[in-house]
Structure 1
Amino acid sequence: MAESEEELKNLLMKVKEESAKYGLKRNIKKTKIMATGPITSWQIEGDEMEAVRDFTFLGSMITADGDSSHEIKRRLLLGRRAMTCLDSILRSRDVTLPTKVCIVKAMAFPVVMYGSESWTIKKADRRRIYAFELWCWRRLLRIPWTARRSNASILKEISPECSLEGQIVKLRLQYFGHLMRREDSLEKTLMLGKMEGTRRRGRQRTRWLDSVFWVTSMSLTKLREVVEDRGAWRALVHGVTKSRTRLTTIFTIFKEDMSHILSIYLSANAFQHSVVPVQLVTHKQGFRVTLIEQEHEWGGTSACMEEHGLGIWDAHQNAYAVHRNTAWRDRSLTSWMCSCMPTPLVPPASAMCTEDWCGSP
């Protein structure tokens, strides 16, 4: 790596001199450069080197703009190739379903997750990863794409302990904790460093550190404190990983006249849960929303949740939110909405608990 053309030229000359001591000669056809600036070609000692926008290094694709989407697409294609190589095993009737699931997790998923610690995953990338995972399970169960089988029924039959995205999140958090505990390193400097200059107009690109903040819901100051306690950090990583399930929550929204019925299937990046009886919550614009009460298995989050099991989908944050004893009074709840509704939900009088709006009917 070099900051200028002159520095790069000196670096290549040193490589050439040291290689000559061992009888090695530089292959100019295999030597390429990648620059962040508008450089199309570059010469050294009369030899012209090609400037590329991306290259593969140690099995991972590195691009000039730092976008991980190209590498994610490439890894998903390699994962599909690995799945097709397992067809003879997956079609065998002598292998049980749990064994086939373990084979897919051991042979196909690691191909996709290689180098995923450094990925900056966007919303479109998450959809691709989710689609790949469902494609793997459908191929394992030999379900054609024409079959009218919901993703929820497939996940229920497979019963995966953790989604592919959850495993990627686990690797990223483990790598983050490893970097934060190091005193001085280039990776930590790049992760925590700030660029000089002014920001561009419009929304800024998602940073790698933003994904850590998003999955943990913690600030950098709080994360610095937690990573120093290895036991607490492992517990946090385990809890976040378990929360990245792909069980499906069904919300049925309808008007008072029952003339319009719409079923929305939302991928619940939620706490693990089991479905229990439903409860009605009235919307102030004349809608009624059927909420599926859920009980999650990540203990200690909310005593109210453990007792009453009332939760609501946060469409903006793409997460299954659990309201606590004072949640309805929290100003942040003004942004909690059903995905089809222009105004927030309000708690009905029948859903109030006598003790501080706890949500008990």
Structure 2
Amino acid sequence: MQNFLTTLNMNVSMFGMRFSPSKCKMLLQDWLNSAPQLVIGGETIKCVNRLTYLGSLISPNGLVSDEISARIHKARSALANLRHLWRRRDIRLVTKGRVYCAAVRSVLLYGCETWPLRTEDIRRILEFDHRCLRNIARVCWDNRVSNTWVRNRVLGKYGKAIDEVENLHQLRWLGHVLRMPDHRLPRRAMFSVVGVGWKKARGGQTKTWHQSTKTLTIGLSHVNRCRLPGWGPPMSVTNG
């Protein structure tokens, strides 16, 4: 790895560019017991426990619990910045729901296409979303109304729960990757296999995005053929 960094640093200097060692970080995954020393530009790269890359928080264990905590914190700030809107009574509740989906839910679900969500993670997202919707609708927790009723009141009759929205994002990203050429890195990572001689660690296994996608699409294998209205030959021709 050190030879690779040295060669890369020399090549970029040929084009008048250079690395900033203070902005370079090193994150160890499945290699926590080692302490490698990587140097670039004469300075040692700092080893960190968490790394923020393209707005997403990457953890060494491969889970998204820390990322969800960061997303909830940012979404809570976005919700608080719009508190003057939620308090106004001259704006329809459905309009507030649209603003909530555009300004708060989008922050909460940023990067959710690649999240390997566990049951605990989904529960945390649902709890935060229900709390926000009740705050917008001015419904207290002691009121005996269901979360579905509150969601339909704020988002409308066809408003989706946030876990359904997250599933749609993951399915959309899955279809995007499946349509990629074979040389693209996301597609190669999806269809990659483990190396020869590799063994699973003892104990429970960390949930991966591949496993989440399999669970999400398990029902698609039972979809029967359907006929769209207006497509194909007339029914008289097919029946004849």
TM-score normalised by L of structure 1: 0.54
Partner of residue 20, structure 2: 27
Report the structure number with the largest CA radius of gyration: 1
Whether the 8 Å contact between 2:27 and 2:60 is mirrored in structure 1 is yes
Shift of 1:125: 0.5
**What pairs up with 1:45-194 in 2 under 5 angstroms?**
46-145=42-141, 147-152=142-147, 153-158=149-154, 159=156, 161-184=159-182, 185-194=184-193
SS of 2:46's equivalent? strand
Runs of 4+ deviating beyond 6 Å: none
Going from structure 1 to structure 2, the CA distance change for 1:14 and 1:200 (only over 3 Å counts) comes to closer
Taking only aligned residues, the RMSD between alpha carbons, in angstroms, comes to: 2.7
3-state secondary structure, aligned to 2:75: helix
- Alignment check: 8 A CA contact 1:32 1:50 kept: yes
The amino acid across from 1:162 in the alignment is K
| Cα drift, residue 206 of structure 1 | 1.9
Q: Following TM superposition, by how much is the alpha carbon of 1:195 offset from its aligned partner in structure 2, in angstroms?
A: 1.8
- In structure 2, the CA distance between the partners of 1:149 and 1:156, relative to structure 1 (3 Å rule), is farther
The 3-state SS of whatever aligns with 2:37 is strand
Distance in 1 separating the partners of 2:214 and 2:25: 36
Give CA deviations for 1:33-91 in whole Å, capped at 9, x if unaligned: 22322344524264222111221111111222211121112111111111111100111
| Other-structure match for 2:206 | 205
Are residues 12 and 68 of structure 1, via their aligned partners in 2, closer, same or farther at CA, if it must alter by over 3 Å? farther
Distance in structure 2 (CA, Å) of the matches to 1:17 and 1:203: 43
Q: Secondary structure of the residue that 2:121 maps to in structure 1?
A: helix
**Distance in 2 between the 1:16 and 1:76 partners?**
41
Offset of residue 199 of structure 1: 2.1
Helix, strand or coil for the counterpart of 2:45?
A: strand
Deviation at 1:95, TM superposition (A): 0.8
1:91-116 residue CA offsets vs partner (Å, 9 max, x unmatched): 11121111001110111111111111
Q: 1:101 to 1:193 in 2, by over 3 A?
A: same
Identity over aligned residues, as a percent? 25
Distance in structure 2 (CA, Å) of the matches to 1:54 and 1:75: 15
- Pick from 13, 18, 35: which aligns with 2:12? 18
- Within 2, Cα distance between the matches of 1:199 and 1:40? 23
Residues 209-220 of structure 1 mapped to structure 2, 5 A cutoff: 209-218=210-219
Amino acid at match of 1:11: L
TM (normalized to structure 2)? 0.79
Which of 37, 41, 50 matches 1:42?
37
Contact 2:151 / 2:159 at 8 angstroms: preserved in 1? no
Distance in structure 1 (CA, Å) of the matches to 2:63 and 2:56: 12
CA distance in structure 1 between the aligned counterparts of 2:143 and 2:191, rounded to whole angstroms: 48
8 Å Cα contact 1:126/1:165 also seen in 2: yes
Q: Which runs of 5+ in 2 are unaligned?
A: 229-240
Structure 1 residues 47 and 88, CA gap change in structure 2 (3 angstroms)? same
Q: CA deviation at 1:144?
A: 4.0
Contact in 1 for aligned 2:151/2:161 (Cα 8 Å)? no
8 A contact 1:60–1:115 mirrored in 2 = yes
* SS of structure 2 residue aligned to 1:42: coil
- 8 A Cα contact 1:16 1:26, kept in partner: no
